[in-house]
């Protein structure tokens, strides 16, 4: 019943040539006569032959798989990133081996090991932080490692960072310009480096300006966390501004502020987010936020694939203030 796949031997036989000839017709820039090529192609077509990439990879001792490790793929920010990345990889003739970490706080080391076992050409870490031992291993084995939004303390890995400092500063300036007197900073309890950086940069600017700030952190990076933050923070009637370090929390916060805590936004309260996820522009939110260009981010990852191994390129993804309607003008 289950017949095996057609192999190059089958094709060679049918075409009346050697296996090498078959291999060559399917290898970019190998020397084959048009005649042989034609015969092979036809035989392959008739037999339904497809190259076995496992065998191919065994030879080159590297596949053209790229391992992608992520978590919380259903959160808009992640989903968008993965969407664009997987398309970009495919376009470059690379395949995406997706390892989903199930949980933002789970250890991604075993997933990366798995990627090694497939002799992937590169590993992209969208979420979580690879242990140093693994960074070393990548280097030793010629596997390109690309880490997004984690600042590793070493100089031999490609790192792609959203410009958190600039973004948070932009947010702070905007809230100052709106005349806010007491400002809340909302972040998750998970304390990812990105969130920490945004939080700190924002606080620094505000403190320097003498603006009263209160930092709130708890729970995962979700809509519900934002909602909860609003409910807990906004009993304080003095708070007239909020910076939520991710849009998904900002949206929850907005909903809590308006629906549960009776605030008018932006009249009573100015809210600003970060990331510019698709939902931020929805009519019910029209969230003023700091955008990171998903295009630039994706391009940076793809470009990093070609960088020489062991050399570190730190790419800062530029940010911009997207003025919509949740901050008083």
Partner DNA sequence: TTGAAAGCGCTAACAA
Partner DNA sequence: TTGTTAGCGCTTTCAA
Interface residues with DNA (CB under 7 A)? 4-5, 7-9, 17-24, 26-27, 30-33, 35-37, 49, 51-52, 55-56, 58-61
H runs (alpha helix) in the chain: 8-15, 19-25, 34-47, 53-60, 76-91, 109-117, 132-141, 164-177, 193-208, 223-233, 247-255, 294-304
- The SS3 of residue 219 is coil
Nearest distance from C-beta of residue 25 to a copy of itself, angstroms: 15
- The SS3 of residue 278 is helix
Cβ nearer to DNA, comparing 49 with 223: 49
Among 107, 218, 236, 260, binds a copy of itself (CB under 8 A): 260
Cβ nearer to DNA, comparing 41 with 215: 41
- Please give the distance of CA 140 from its chain centroid, rounded to a whole number: 25
Nearest distance from C-beta of residue 94 to DNA, angstroms: 16
Cβ nearer to a copy of itself, comparing 197 with 228: 228
Q: Using alpha carbons, select from 290, 315, 293 the residue that is nearest to residue 169.
A: 290
Cβ nearer to a copy of itself, comparing 101 with 290: 101
Contacts 24+ apart (CB under 8 A), 10-13: 10/47, 10/49, 11/40, 11/43, 11/44, 11/47, 11/49, 12/40, 12/43
Cβ nearer to a copy of itself, comparing 256 with 266: 256
The phi, psi pair for 148, rounded to 5°, reads: -110, 130
Among 16, 27, 45, 83, binds a copy of itself (CB under 8 A): 83
Q: Which does 303 bind (CB under 5 to 8 A by kind): DNA, a copy of itself, none?
A: none
Please check whether residue 82 is in contact with residue 90, taking contact to mean a CB–CB distance below 8 angstroms. Answer: no
Number of residues lying near a copy of itself (CB under 8 A): 67
3-state secondary structure 141-203: HCCEEEEECCCCCCCCCEEEEECHHHHHHHHHHHHHHCCCCEEEEEECCCCCHHHHHHHHHHH
Contact between 142 and a copy of itself by CB under 8 A: the answer reads: yes
Cβ nearer to a copy of itself, comparing 206 with 261: 261
Among 11, 23, 76, 194, binds a copy of itself (CB under 8 A): 76
Q: Which residue ranges make up the site for a copy of itself (CB under 8 A)?
A: 1-5, 48, 50-55, 57-58, 61, 63, 65, 68, 72-76, 78-80, 82-84, 86-87, 90, 95-100, 102, 111, 113-114, 116-119, 137, 140-142, 223, 227, 251-252, 255-256, 258-260, 278-279, 282-285, 309-310
């Amino acid at each position: 019943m289950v017949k095996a796949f057609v192999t190059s031997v089958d094709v060679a036989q049918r075409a009346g040539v050697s296996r090498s000839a078959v291999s060559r017709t399917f290898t970019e820039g190998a020397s084959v006569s048009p005649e042989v090529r034609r015969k092979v192609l036809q035989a392959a077509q008739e037999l339904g032959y497809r190259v076995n990439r496992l065998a191919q990879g065994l030879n080159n001792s590297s596949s053209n798989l790229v391992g992608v490790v992520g978590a919380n793929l259903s959160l808009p920010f992640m989903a968008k990133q993965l969407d664009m990345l997987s398309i970009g990889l495919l376009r470059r003739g690379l395949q995406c081996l997706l390892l989903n970490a199930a949980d933002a706080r789970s250890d991604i080391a075993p997933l990366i090991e798995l990627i090694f076992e497939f002799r992937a050409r590169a590993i992209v870490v969208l979420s979580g932080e690879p242990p140093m031992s693994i960074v070393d291993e990548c280097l030793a084995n010629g596997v390109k490692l690309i880490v997004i939004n984690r600042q590793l303390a070493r100089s031999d890995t490609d790192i792609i960072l959203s410009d958190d400092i600039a973004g948070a500063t932009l947010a702070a300036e905007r809230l100052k310009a709106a005349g806010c007197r007491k400002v809340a900073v909302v972040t998750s309890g998970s304390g990812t480096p990105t969130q920490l950086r945004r939080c700190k940069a924002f606080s620094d600017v505000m403190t320097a300006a003498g603006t009263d700030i209160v930092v709130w952190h708890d729970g995962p990076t979700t809509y519900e966390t934002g909602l909860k933050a609003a409910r807990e923070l906004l009993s304080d009637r003095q708070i007239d501004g909020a910076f939520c370090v991710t849009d998904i929390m900002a949206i929850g916060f907005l909903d809590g502020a308006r629906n549960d805590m009776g605030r008018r936004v932006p009249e009573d309260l100015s809210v600003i987010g970060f990331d510019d996820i698709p939902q931020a522009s929805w009519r019910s939110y029209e969230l003023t936020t700091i955008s990171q260009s998903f295009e630039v981010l994706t391009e940076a990852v793809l470009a990093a694939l070609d960088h020489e191994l062991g050399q570190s390129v730190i790419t800062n993804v530029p940010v911009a203030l997207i003025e919509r309607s949740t901050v008083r003008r």
